[in-house]
């Protein structure tokens, strides 16, 4: 213990506040302080899923009757126009940029993160995400859409990517005895961020709204400040274990492979295989179908069910007055939060089921059940059955979240474990592509329907649901074509042994707990969990309360 401790302290003495060497844990540190740090960041950046609550208010940013010339406004002119209100499709590009930049930044800077450590990555993530929201607030104030794109979409999207990947490897290192649980904790916050952020945003917009302001830029500023405080707390709460650390009393289990392959594919070769691109397509198509719906969840529910959400089923969306639209916006925020709850649950439930069903069969379930539910959704909408409609999209979004949790194991089944982390980073470019494909399909079909004279209501989204079902059908075919790799793609036993020998040499030295990681849920850990747990409980409570109206 003395060797490891003195080494950590010596290197930390010359390290900067954000450097990796500065965050090596010392005796007495409790490992249960790390998951709340990860959640503090993921619950903030997860608001990316809830940004659709801003779309409809922003389409009314300029009060009064719009200029007739605005009807023929192009996307390019919308970027710089200060006279015309924005359309949902114009704003939807921000949502697209979120996930394009998330996937790209995760793939590009994943290696950098491993070198600099999670604190620096979390710090930069907070600067980008919160700074991007502030730039977007300036865009709303000046009515410059391009500023919103650059701020929230580009700068914020980079923050999303860095924040998303910052805790994953760290938590796995702290919980080698509970890796599945650790991975679940690493990603569940991102799925649940909208459950807190969407109702909070709705409360703030209503508080700041006046006759001349929709209250969005003020909401952006307040949320950026809140998120910055939480994300900084998370970044500075990160610690990493010293070399050779393992939990007290834990012994690594004897190796027992349950993978399809016991061999390993090198990172340089993975992308050359058809299997990589088939799984890439599987993830992309599954995510595209889900992400497109998340991006318009709030306006979709409001426009389809309109007055029925507040007990006035005879009123269409266009017949509602301003006060009634405010009421249904609050309910729609609850819907956004509810599907976020399903998103979280799916990451645990489906990933656990995949251990029994197998990864390929799990994705078969995603695609077949998804096709059925998307095909039935227009029928549920025409029936006016809110309960079935919401339940259908809850299940769809559970499979969306489950797809993210299942795909790393799918890659391990096919490519082995030696480079699965890096291969997974490259596969996240599928998420970036889906961030373009899904929202574009949903938003532009909606705009085309409106241009064709279709009024807000169930018919506005019917064609979209069938197209999304078709995308899942393509994913079903791609999943069917995935096969085990041929022997030519695997590394030789000698090459694997050489790589593992380097790892063993790097970890040579004393092993043990070194008095680190113990403590369980002590007072300090309980406080840290309360800081992230109380907002999460509030989000669940608000979501469930709002859903009572949906299922009433």
Give tens-digit pLDDT for 306-339.
888 888 888 888 888 888 888 888 788 778 778 8
CA 182 to chain CA centroid, nearest Å: 17
**Does residue 33 contact residue 525 with C-beta atoms inside 8 Å?**
yes
SS3 (DSSP) at 456 = coil
Please tell me whether residue 384 adopts helix, strand or coil conformation. coil
Q: How far is CA 205 from the centre of its chain?
A: 23
Q: Are 204 and 54 in contact (CB under 8 A)?
A: no
pLDDT level of residue 92 (50, 70, 90 thresholds): confident
Averaged pLDDT of the chain: 83
Are 114 and 20 spatial neighbours (Cβ–Cβ below 8 Å)? no
* Mean pLDDT lowest among 187-201, 309-323, 373-387, 504-518: 504-518
Structure tokens belonging to residue 229 = 């405080």
Alpha helices by DSSP H, 306-428: 322-357, 359-383, 386-415, 420-427
This prediction has a pTM of 0.77
Q: Give me the helices (H) in 178-314, please.
A: 179-208, 216-237, 267-270, 274-295, 297-305
pLDDT of 508 higher than 60: no
Q: Is residue 458 scored above 90 in pLDDT?
A: no
pLDDT tens for 472-485 read: 999 999 999 998 88
β partners of residue 490: 265
Is 107 within 8 Å of 425 (Cβ atoms)?
yes
**Residue 419 and residue 267 in contact, taking contact as beta carbons nearer than 8 Å:** yes
Note the pLDDT tens digit of each residue in 218-267.
999 999 999 999 999 999 999 988 877 878 777 766 544 434 456 778 87
Contacts of 501 (CB under 8 A, 6+ apart): none
- Confidence label for 498 from pLDDT (cuts 50, 70 and 90): confident
State the Cα–Cα distance between residues 129 and 47, nearest whole angstrom. Answer: 10
The stretches of 209-273 forming alpha helices (DSSP H) are: 216-237, 267-270
pLDDT of residue 480: 95
Residue 268 CB partners (closer than 8 Å, separation 6+): none
Contact status, residue 351 vs residue 453, Cβ threshold 8 Å: no
pLDDT at 513: 65
Cα distances from 504 to residues 266, 367, 420, 507, 516, in angstroms, run: 18, 41, 18, 5, 22
Q: What is the mean pLDDT of residues 418-431?
A: 78
Q: What does the pLDDT read at residue 292?
A: 79
Looking at residue 486, its pLDDT comes to: 84
**Helix, strand, coil percent content, the chain, rounded in steps of 5:** 75, 0, 20
- Exposure letters 414-439 (e unless 16+ CB within 10 A, then b): bbbbbbbbbbbbbbbbbbbbbbbbbb
């Amino acid at each position: 213990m003395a060797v490891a401790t003195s080494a950590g302290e010596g290197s930390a003495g010359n390290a900067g506040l954000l450097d990796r060497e500065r965050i090596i844990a010392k005796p007495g540190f409790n490992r249960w302080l790390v998951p709340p740090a990860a959640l503090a960041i993921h619950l903030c950046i997860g608001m990316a899923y809830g940004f659709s609550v801003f779309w409809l208010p922003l389409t009314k940013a300029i009060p009064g009757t719009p200029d007739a010339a605005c009807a023929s406004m192009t996307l390019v002119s919308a970027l710089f126009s200060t006279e015309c209100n924005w359309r949902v499709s114009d704003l939807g590009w921000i949502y697209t940029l979120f996930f394009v930049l998330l996937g790209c930044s995760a793939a590009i800077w994943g290696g950098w993160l491993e070198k600099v450590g999670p604190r620096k990555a979390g710090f930069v993530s907070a600067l980008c995400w919160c700074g991007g929201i502030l730039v977007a607030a300036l865009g709303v104030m000046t009515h410059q859409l391009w500023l919103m794109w650059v701020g929230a979409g580009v700068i914020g999207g980079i923050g999303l990517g860095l924040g998303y990947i910052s805790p994953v490897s760290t938590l796995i290192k702290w919980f080698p005895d509970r890796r599945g649980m650790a991975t679940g904790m690493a990603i569940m916050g991102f799925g649940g961020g909208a459950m807190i952020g969407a109702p909070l945003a709705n409360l703030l917009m209503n508080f700041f709204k006046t006759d001349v302001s929709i209250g969005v830029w003020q909401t952006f500023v307040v949320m950026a400040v809140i998120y910055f405080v939480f994300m900084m707390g998370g970044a500075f709460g990160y610690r990493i274990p010293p070399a050779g650390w393992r939990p007290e009393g834990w012994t690594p289990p004897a190796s027992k492979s349950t993978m399809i392959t016991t061999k390993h594919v090198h990172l340089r070769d993975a992308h050359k295989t058809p299997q990589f691109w088939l799984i890439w397509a599987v993830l992309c198509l599954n995510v595209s179908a889900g992400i497109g719906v998340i991006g318009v969840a709030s306006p979709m529910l409001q426009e389809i069910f309109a007055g029925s959400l507040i007990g006035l089923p005879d009123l269409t969306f266009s017949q509602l007055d301003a006060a009634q639209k405010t009421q249904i916006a609050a309910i729609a925020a609850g819907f956004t939060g509810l599907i976020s709850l399903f998103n979280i649950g799916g990451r645990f439930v489906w990933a656990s089921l995949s251990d029994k069903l197998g990864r390929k069969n799990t994705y078969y379930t995603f695609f077949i059940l998804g096709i059925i539910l998307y095909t039935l959704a227009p029928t549920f909408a025409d029936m006016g059955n809110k309960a079935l409609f919401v339940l259908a999209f809850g299940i769809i979004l559970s499979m969306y979240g489950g797809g993210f949790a299942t795909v790393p194991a799918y890659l391990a089944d096919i490519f082995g474990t030696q480079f699965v982390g890096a291969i997974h980073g490259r596969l996240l470019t599928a998420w970036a592509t889906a961030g373009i494909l899904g929202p574009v399909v949903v938003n532009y079909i909606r705009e085309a329907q409106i241009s064709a004279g279709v009024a807000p209501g169930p018919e506005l989204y019917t064609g979209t649901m069938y197209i999304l079902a078709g995308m899942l059908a393509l994913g079903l075919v791609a999943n069917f074509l995935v096969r085990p790799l041929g022997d030519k793609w695997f590394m030789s036993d000698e090459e694997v042994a050489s790589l593992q020998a380097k790892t063993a040499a790097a970890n040579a030295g004393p092993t043990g707990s070194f008095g680190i990681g113990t403590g369980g849920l002590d007072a300090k850990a309980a406080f840290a969990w309360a800081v992230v747990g109380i907002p999460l409980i509030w989000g669940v409570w608000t979501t469930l309360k709002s859903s009572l109206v949906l299922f009433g």
